[in-house]
Amino acid sequence: MPHSKIGHSDPDRPSRRSLLRGAAAIGGATLAGRAIGSASASSNLPPDVPEWMKTPGDPMGSQPYGSPSPFEKHVVKNIPKDLPQYLSASGRAPLQDLDGIITPNGLFYERHHAGVPAIDPAQHRLMLHGLVERPMIFTVDDIKRFPSTSRIHFLECSGNPGYQKPFGKTASDLVGLLSCAEWTGVSMKLVLEEAGLRPEAKWVIAEGADAVAMKRSIPIDKCLDDAMIVYSQNGERLRPQQGYPLRLILPGFEGNMNVKWLRRLHVTAEPVYSREETSKYTDLMPDGVAREFSFVMEAKSIILRPSGGQRLSGSGFHEISGIAWSGRGKIRRVDVSVDDGSSWQEAELQEPVLTRALTRFRLPWRWNGEPTVIQSRAIDETGYVQPTLAELIAVRGENFFYHNNAIWPWRIAVDGEVSNAANS
Ligand SMILES: Nc1nc2c(c(=O)[nH]1)N[C@H]1C(S)=C(S)[C@@H](COP(=O)(O)O)O[C@H]1N2
Ligand SMILES: [Mo]
């Protein structure tokens, strides 16, 4: 939002003076300001010197690996309590509590088919064989000797949220199987070239070192384009949950194909037709045919603030903020509607706008206190427009589950309560 827009005469744009109505103002309104909030009796507020300034704090060294403020301990992964988290487990990122575009490693979503293996990197190997000139076995250190590259990409499960009613309550319930990190590793192309591809090579079957030996077939074009074999996320080594010590990152492709605990790359002429690309991660279309090998995550967006489970403190200025992403490239535009889809306004895209990464959008908004429905719609650089749920069902029917990238509407009640409009 260019700052010149603040103070603009448009009634939907807030004026600078009224942005923080409700907060304590300095000067003439000090007394009124101090009366706000439950901490009004505290001696830690201006003009008093707060408790924590009166003695030195905890010295360095008590925590060799840092952790968040104890006042933030409610910001944790969203792990469903009603699911047996034994073999097939998942935990969602608390997206509505995060800022910017990077997911902290401790809050990165998790999805495992047979738990998290405890891998000793010194005993881990990556085997590359099949239609190659020189089959090879790499140690983790061998992989780290290749020239390295770091790139920011989102990772999203194709069952996010899945087409199943009732849909969740919060943004995390809906699309929390989504995260974004800076990944560091080696271009998969370099590793394949080291072994030398034979001309018949059309697919690479990637296999994980977990108890299900999860396998997916990846088209050779993707492997030679932007695919990475990574060992770090957000500057530190991968977390065990994210595939320590090695995983595949296939930017923009459905989460499942980004094989964790990578132990084998088998170069073939045909796909393997594993469980994960036949009975799962395929969709039954209205004509009875299965939609399979649906690799790319299409453009999508969601408003995170305000979103389900939150409550607006009152009418007046509220910044609408959310995230948009596309497996096909960069986000070109995000439209936001604050009147149940009658009209749309273009949101500001916050820099950086990166390819196949989360993009943060913002729109200043003045809520008039009336019940309404707000929603966002992403358009990517290919011109693809995020569909409504009705538009998606018209094409896919009612038997699909994966790749639900529908627009998600939030209902705002007269008391400011925000709920999932698709459930009502
Ligand atoms: N080896 C292996 N790789 C795997 C999985 C798995 O269970 N085993 N889960 C897949 C699925 S379904 C998803 S959505 C992503 C999740 O990655 P994350 O746990 O790092 O978020 O990893 C994929 N890679
Ligand atoms: Mo997934």
Q: What is the CA(424)–ligand 1 centre distance, in A?
A: 32
CA 81 to chain centre: 21
Ion ligand 2: protein residues whose beta carbon lies under 5 Å: 111, 157, 255-256
* Strand bridging mode 262-268 / 110-112: unpaired
**CA–CA separation, 408 and 160 (whole Å):** 12
The H or E element spanning position 13 is none
**Can you list the pairs that 163-167 forms with residues at least 24 positions away whose Cβ atoms lie under 8 Å?**
163/392, 163/396, 163/398, 163/400, 163/401, 163/404, 164/401, 165/423, 166/423, 167/420, 167/422, 167/423
Cβ proximity of 267 and 130 under 8 Å: yes
What pLDDT is stored for residue 26 in this prediction? 60
Residue in 224, 223, 228, 253 with CA at minimum distance from that of residue 243: 228
- What pLDDT band is residue 8 in, cutting at 50, 70 and 90? very low
What pLDDT is stored for residue 16 in this prediction? 52
Mean pLDDT computed over 321-335: 98
Mean pLDDT computed over 287-304: 94
Query: Angle 303-299-351 (CA atoms, 0-180°, nearest 5)?
Result: 65
- What pLDDT band is residue 85 in, cutting at 50, 70 and 90? low
**Which ligand has an atom closest to residue 113 CA?**
1
Please choose from 86, 111, 229 the residue to mutate so as to test ligand 1's pocket, defined by most ligand atoms within 8 A of CB: 111
Residue nearest to atom 22 of ligand 1 (CA): 256
Please choose from 85, 88, 90, 113 the residue to mutate so as to test ligand 1's pocket, defined by most ligand atoms within 8 A of CB: 113
* Strand bridging mode 149-156 / 136-139: unpaired
pLDDT tens readout for residues 244-273 = 999 999 999 999 999 999 999 999 999 999
pLDDT tens readout for residues 88-117 = 899 999 999 999 999 999 999 999 999 999
Task: Count CA atoms within 13 Å of residue 346 on its CB side.
Answer: 9
Domains belonging to the chain, first-starting first, are 105-281 (3.90.420.10), 300-423 (2.60.40.650)
Residue nearest to atom 16 of ligand 1 (CA): 111
**CA–CA separation, 98 and 79 (whole Å):** 17
DSSP letters of 169-193? Answer: SSHHHHH-SEEEEEEEEEEHHHHHH
Q: What is the CA(240)–ligand 1 centre distance, in A?
A: 11
pLDDT tens readout for residues 46-80 = 999 999 999 999 887 678 999 999 999 999 999 98
The H or E element spanning position 319 is strand 316-325
Q: What is the pTM of this model?
A: 0.92
Residue 224 has pLDDT above 60, yes or no: yes
Instruction: Calculate the average pLDDT of the chain.
Output: 91
Q: For residue 248, which atom of ligand 1 is closest to its CA?
A: 24
Q: For residue 241, which atom of ligand 1 is closest to its CA?
A: 19
